[in-house]
Structure 1
């Protein structure tokens, strides 16, 4: 069976949400209200994220990159999980509502650019503008910005087992379409509320262990765990 894994970036691959961290560090006070409206689904993800970044000067670009390179932490087990997907020929994609100017640098040593789907950013004006290069298809009316369910339809293969790994509201619509969901934080809460079957996780070791059992592989010793 073909297994396709679609993994969120902010708050999933990284321990914390980078957009939230950026707004706390560089955003004006009104970004908090915009964020809360997105989480309550009173404002679409596309509109909310666009509004927040439009409040940031393009002159902050290098400061933001430096800030994230210093502060962002990759979740435990991710490097080993990528090696695991390669060993067992599992298709792995990063589908991120984050921005290219920080997603690619933070993943450049572990995931190829061809595996990453995220938003593009335009720094040509006075304030940061987002190019929504992976917008909703005709089957989605949620104004997702980067539309994860649309990417599942575009990249998904017939009869493949499609797995979603995520943590937030941006992963919810894709979770509704997936065959298997690994969830934490806000996504876990929403899945439980909506009775979407999911498996809680804290590290990528948790996900790897489950999939090893699913694949029928016993006593895995090839991938050494580094604490």
Structure 2
């Protein structure tokens, strides 16, 4: 039996042209956010701790302007709409697996026919004095990275004997997942990591590139 194709697709820097969390931080520039990023780079903080601490720098009263900025300034990568249709037409299960936040991911994906249950991301609360990030997709027993939104846990939930697992991503947050899948589509920092470890990958700039390669590759 042929395996079913399933795609795990990152959002920030992959579906969108740039990273939306970084864009928010650079635009509003809350004091201390760059120090938090450096602590992440130095491995003093986990990804979950860093993202949570960065958004806690904002008072919850700024919700409207932050949400508005994120949605209005994000650019969807060329070919994504066609790619969603391609997956539907070819029986490919498409999951959006993102370390981004619900308040910009759901509105930006609303124009596309992707069911909410196929979107995995972090959640948010504006009920307290500062913005609180919530973590509905935590690491499983096999991951100790404290990801926040654990992509490897989601990938592992789809049996490799049944599914041809495909990952599309751009950054360090996609790298652990890239170790588990059959096929990697990479850009930006993920390319550097794949080269460093000797992992095979297909580079892409648009989703048209990905569709062309999927057409050329028979289902395993």
TM (norm. structure 2) is: 0.93
In structure 1, the residue matched to 2:116 is 113
Q: CA deviation at 1:156?
A: 4.5
Is this contact kept in 2: 1:27–1:56, CA < 8 A?
Answer: no
In structure 2, the residue matched to 1:185 is 188
Shift in alpha-carbon separation, 1:156–1:63, aligned structure 2, 3 A: farther
Q: 1:130 aligns with which of 104, 129, 133?
A: 133
Structure 2 distance, partners of 1:45, 1:164, is: 20
Shift in alpha-carbon separation, 1:166–1:128, aligned structure 2, 3 A: same
C-alpha RMSD over aligned residues: 1.5
Is this contact kept in 2: 1:11–1:17, CA < 8 A?
Answer: yes
Query: Matched residue of 1:74: which SS?
Result: coil
Q: 2:64 aligns with which of 62, 65, 81?
A: 62
Q: 1:159 aligns with which of 162, 167, 188?
A: 162
Query: Matched residue of 1:165: which SS?
Result: strand
Q: CA deviation at 1:169?
A: 1.2
Q: Deviations over 1:156-182 (max 9, x none)?
A: 463311011001111111011111111
Structure 2 distance, partners of 1:42, 1:195, is: 27
Q: CA deviation at 1:40?
A: 4.9
Structure 2 distance, partners of 1:40, 1:169, is: 14
Q: 1:149 aligns with which of 149, 152, 165?
A: 152
Moved more, 91-100 or 110-119: 110-119
In structure 2, the residue matched to 1:222 is none
Counterparts of 1:11-160 in structure 2 under 5 Å? 11-110=13-112, 111-156=114-159, 158-160=161-163
Structure 1: state its 5+ residue gaps.
217-227
Structure 2 distance, partners of 1:22, 1:142, is: 24
Is this contact kept in 2: 1:119–1:146, CA < 8 A?
Answer: yes
Structure 2 distance, partners of 1:32, 1:108, is: 31
Q: Deviations over 1:156-211 (max 9, x none)?
A: 46331101100111111101111111111111111111222211111101100000
Q: Deviations over 1:27-76 (max 9, x none)?
A: 32421222233245442111111111111111121111211222100000
TM (norm. structure 1) is: 0.91
